[in-house]
Amino acid sequence: MSPMTDKEAMLLAISEAKKGIGFVSPNPPVGCVILDKDRNFLASGYHQKLGSDHAELDALKKIKDTEELKGAHVYVTLEPCAHEGRTPSCAKALAQLPISSVVYGLKDPNPLVAGKGLQILLDAAIEVKCIEGLNLELENLAECFLLNMRESKCFIALKVASSIDGQIAMSSGESQWITSSRAREYSHDLRGMYDATAVGFGTYLKDNPSLNIRHGKFQNKKNHKVVLFDQEAESLKSIENSNLYQSNQKQNIHIVVDSKHKNIENILGLNILFCDFNNGYQDLHQQLFQHEIYSLYIEGGAKVLSKFISQKAFNTLYLFVGSKVLGKGLSWTKDLEFSSLSETLDLKLSQHEILDNDIMLKYNI
Amino acid sequence: MSPMTDKEAMLLAISEAKKGIGFVSPNPPVGCVILDKDRNFLASGYHQKLGSDHAELDALKKIKDTEELKGAHVYVTLEPCAHEGRTPSCAKALAQLPISSVVYGLKDPNPLVAGKGLQILLDAAIEVKCIEGLNLELENLAECFLLNMRESKCFIALKVASSIDGQIAMSSGESQWITSSRAREYSHDLRGMYDATAVGFGTYLKDNPSLNIRHGKFQNKKNHKVVLFDQEAESLKSIENSNLYQSNQKQNIHIVVDSKHKNIENILGLNILFCDFNNGYQDLHQQLFQHEIYSLYIEGGAKVLSKFISQKAFNTLYLFVGSKVLGKGLSWTKDLEFSSLSETLDLKLSQHEILDNDIMLKYNI
């Protein structure tokens, strides 16, 4: 075992934190790593699910002999909390230990408590510092939570599966499959990392999707929600026969319809959200937030994607590029038009993942 | 300094070899690493340009004290040559040294000499073995040379620069720039790695490109060739006014026209190749080879790309994906049509390179 640098310890804490994504919303995913006085690894932990231990306590519980904590260094991706909530204050718990330093990733984004956890540590004569050089990784890790806290809005992720030449289907509509089973499995897992999965009415009609989580690491996730974008409220007439209705609990189904249908009859008592489909998606983000949908994964089709893109009303885009060249087909931005190159949307490539011959590209707005 | 594994040494030899790409054609790029008897690094070298030392000699020259070579281990990406050509036989040179083993990457693809170099080493009681687990990297490194040797054909690389949504231009034709300056620089460097750069007649008319190498690491490369695909032989009338004609030596300019124009007047005495544009690209590869164009980098436009793709008449595709979403525009496969998903072209992702917010994806057929 060799001593770890600050950066190595924080990167490990980040990868620990990631294990909690999908299970902790609306909390942030948080990871923690503890090194002994000589900077050798002692323990790691993470916030595993809503209501369970925070990352710091999860890591501390793995240390049997508190002697080991003398002069220890604690790395945590987010400022230790100052307040007592579902769990005791982490800052207070750390302040009682003989540790020498706490290195944190991001300050608490809640201005009312930001810095309070750090102050508790400083008052206990513990050295406190912010990690340098990992801000991007840390912001990406907690991107949903940060947006939730900063803007009281739902975090919107778009997902596209295209061919090498940007097509999502043949001219005939044939699209099974553009990407590999491994890429589709990866995308299925992404559903679980968000509070809800969404599609547009066209996809609902064509694919009759259930939108729930059927396999993979989020299979046992509870209360995953689904959202249907149905501008003209056409689905309400016969939704009882759909896989979407039959595969999800009623309270988890949300239909977004255009504001002009405000007086529509809601016999089934589903969650119905109203918004202006042409210009009201920013407002929709707040409504979703109020419905406790803090993050949303939109899987298509082209029409819904184009609307979110043209209104710049999304936060991240997952593009799965399969290994086929399709030729003339259906582009996922066929409904999107810009007047000149300078008007187009410029994104930031924030992550990529090779999946055999496919690749996942994650872009932030 | 710590001892290196076989794999580490061969990977270093591969990265050495890459430095020669673009300067050694029609030879293969080759790299060599020498470790001492305890497997510590002694020297590395590579085949720098046509006519200069082979990789083994380039590395050996860096070792002043031949005592160091007692029991040494030599790693070379390609079987040491048995024959005396522009340079002395590497196998014979190695056989005279007190080295203990030679680890090679690929056997010589020429069936007439394959194994002969290895035999010379074995006869000198030197241990000889083929590296394991790096075949893909080694084949990719020497892909042009291997195709040249195996099939007497020119290696064809296609290049596309597209937006995130697969467009190469706005509907208006506006396309400067879809990708970043860093990606364009990278692509300009790729030109130099091939014997010749090509475009179609549409791009020739629209962009008036010079197709030569103006900057970057291949700036001083000599005898870079250019190829114009001009099905109807329209360029010949006024080519003297083009940047392509004015920026390149006449003997380096090649025009490919349709076979039906076989009797065309060639006043300027340019290199003219004839082929059936609808079904004759495989034959064209042999013609290019005979014209000493052993590798060709085709930069577009959509029409030429579609023809090469539909005839499966290429070996590799470089796709530069910029960071913009363009919406409805010009797709690079608009002239390509397949009847069903199972008829489409399935490629292998062989390399990728992050270029800030852009990404280069290299696919092999």
pLDDT of amino acid B270: 92
pLDDT of amino acid A237: 87
Nearest CB partner across the interface for B166, out of A167, A359, A363: A167
List pLDDT tens digits, range B191-202. Answer: 999 999 999 999
B360 forms beta bridges with B320, B353
Lowest mean pLDDT among A55-64, A194-203, A207-216, B14-23: A207-216
Confidence class for position B281, pLDDT limits 50, 70, 90: confident
Q: What is the ipTM of this complex?
A: 0.90
pLDDT of amino acid B279: 82
B156 forms beta bridges with B296
C-alpha span between B211 and B197 (Å, rounded): 6
Nearest CB partner across the interface for A166, out of B162, B175, B363: B162
Mean pLDDT of B17-46: 96
What is the average pLDDT value for chain A, to the nearest integer?
A: 94
List pLDDT tens digits, range B105-118. Answer: 999 988 778 899 99
Question: How many angstroms separate the CA of residue A262 from the nearest CA in chain B?
Answer: 32
Check pLDDT > 90 for residue A220: no
Confidence class for position B72, pLDDT limits 50, 70, 90: very high
Task: Please indicate if any CB of chain B lies within 8 Å of the CB of A174.
Answer: yes
Q: Are B326 and A335 in contact (CB under 8 A)?
A: no
Q: Which of B16, B56, B143, B299 is catalytic?
A: B56
What is the average pLDDT value for chain B, to the nearest integer?
A: 94
Confidence class for position B86, pLDDT limits 50, 70, 90: low
Mean pLDDT of A71-98: 90
C-alpha span between A184 and A360 (Å, rounded): 10
C-alpha distances (whole Å) from A140 to each of A104, A133, A329 are 15, 13, 34
Q: Is pLDDT larger for residue B100 or for residue B281?
A: B100
Q: Are A121 and A80 in contact (CB under 8 A)?
A: yes
For testing contact with chain A, the best of B303, B348, B349 (most A CBs within 10 A) = B349
- Give the predicted TM-score (pTM) of the model: 0.92
pLDDT of amino acid B113: 81
List pLDDT tens digits, range B306-345. Answer: 999 998 999 999 999 999 999 999 999 988 999 999 999 9
Would you call B164 and A361 a contact, using CB atoms and an 8 Å cutoff?
A: yes
Which of B164, B140, B162, B165 is CA-nearest to residue B299?
A: B162
In chain B, pLDDT over 90 holds for what percent of residues? Answer: 85
List pLDDT tens digits, range A297-324. Answer: 999 889 999 999 998 999 999 999 999 9
pLDDT of amino acid B221: 84
Confidence class for position A84, pLDDT limits 50, 70, 90: confident
| Assigned token pair, A16 | 């620990």
Three-state SS across chain A? CCCCCHHHHHHHHHHHHHCCCCCCCCCCCCEEEEECCCCCEEEEEECCCCCCCCHHHHHHCCCCCHHHHCCCEEEEEECCCCCCCCCCCHHHHHHCCCCCEEEEEECCCCCCCCCHHHHHHHHCCCEEEECCCCHHHHHHHCHHHHHHHHHCCCEEEEEEEECCCCEEEECCCCCCCCCCHHHHHHHHHHHHHCCEEEEEHHHHHHHCCCCCCCCCCCCCCCCCEEEEECCCCCHHHCHHHCHHHHHCCHHHEEEEEEHHHCCCCCCCCCEEEEECCCCCHHHHHHHHHHCCCCEEEECCCHHHHHHHHHCCCCCEEEEEECCEECECEEECCCCCECCCHHHCEECEEEEEEEECCEEEEEEEC
Would you call B338 and A170 a contact, using CB atoms and an 8 Å cutoff?
A: yes
Q: Are B9 and B35 in contact (CB under 8 A)?
A: yes
Mean pLDDT of A172-191: 94
Q: Are A228 and A201 in contact (CB under 8 A)?
A: yes
